[in-house]
Amino acid sequence: DIQMTQSPSSLSASVGDRVTITCRASQGISNELGWYQQKPEKAPKSLIYAASSLQSGVPSRFSGSGSGTDFTLTISSLQPEDFATYYCQQYNSYPITFGQGTRLEIK
Amino acid sequence: EVQLVESGGGLVQPGGSLRLSCAASGFTFSSYWMSWVRQGPGKGLEWVANIKQDGSVKNYVDSVKGRFAISRDNAKNSMYLQTNSLSAEDTAVYYCARYKGNDAYVDLWGQGTLVTVSS
């Protein structure tokens, strides 16, 4: 199974900050990686697919990059509604696996 | 409106069964791979199973193989998850999910249905 490891596990930041979350795959997954945002007691929301393509309707302050084993999700200027937990997910091979999540909190 | 609505969750005893349903609307259901993803209390997301557009291909995470069965009825715009031999480890919110194209990236999520396995 491909293990997905996110860092950090939690992060405190302020509105307006630039934030980067990292996701590392235990083996190469090409660009077959997605990012999701989840707020407490809510369903996840899809943000980015194919490592760097923005899901329709997602603000342009979100961006993704990477290929192979190392990937990043960047939020260029944090907004109050961005405080949530973020998950990466690989879909290169079965079983499909998620990272453990990164909790983004208000400083 | 494009949406997925799950139902069928509830409280079940260990060893019991539940059938989860997902009703799709607002899009051509038969054109999409579909999936179930679950989230245990206070835990992260876990992929459970997925099914091809025509139902001819099904995949499962090892922990549910032989106990869960995914299916769909394109005439009813619905997907199902039959869950058997349930244990406490299966307690979770179960999300219905639609894939974008033929890649297993979820572009649409349901609101989830809670399954609680407890005596």
Question: Going by C-beta distance under 8 Å and a sequence separation of 6 or more, which residues neighbour residue B104?
Answer: A91, A96, B33, B35, B47, B50
Give the pLDDT score at A68: 98
Quick check: B44 and A95 CB within 8 A? no
Q: Tokens in use for A93?
A: 């091979």
- Average pLDDT on A64-72 reads 98
Measured between CB atoms, which of B45, B61, B105 is closest to A95? B61
**What's phi and psi for B74, nearest 5 deg?**
-65, -25
CA of A80 vs chain B CAs: smallest distance (Å) = 23
Question: Going by C-beta distance under 8 Å and a sequence separation of 6 or more, which residues neighbour residue B36?
Answer: B20, B22, B48, B49, B50, B70, B79, B81, B94, B95, B96, B97
Give the pLDDT score at B55: 97
Give the pLDDT score at A40: 96
* DSSP code for A96: P
Give the pLDDT score at A107: 87
Low-confidence ranges of chain B (pLDDT < 70): none
In DSSP terms, which residues pair with A105 in a beta bridge? A12
d(CA A18, CA B70): 41
Quick check: B105 and A49 CB within 8 A? yes
Query: Are the C-beta atoms of residues B56 and B50 closer than 8 Å to each other?
Result: no
Instruction: Report DSSP letters for B7-61, one per residue.
Output: E--EEE-TT--EEEEEEEESS-GGGS-EEEEEE-TT--EEEEEEE-TTS--EEE-
Task: State which residue of chain A sits closest to B39, comparing Cα positions.
Answer: A43
As to burial, measured by CB atoms within 10 angstroms (0-12 exposed, 13-18 middle, 19+ buried), residue A29 is buried
Tell whether the model's pLDDT for residue A78 goes beyond 90: yes
As to burial, measured by CB atoms within 10 angstroms (0-12 exposed, 13-18 middle, 19+ buried), residue A68 is middle
In the block, tokens 């949530």 appear at A84
Query: Are the C-beta atoms of residues A7 and A98 closer than 8 Å to each other?
Result: no
Quick check: A89 and B61 CB within 8 A? no
pLDDT in tens, A14-66: 999 999 999 999 999 999 999 999 999 999 999 999 999 999 999 999 999 99
Give the pLDDT score at B101: 87
Q: SS3 for A71?
A: strand
Q: Tokens in use for A62?
A: 């979100």
Give the pLDDT score at B92: 98
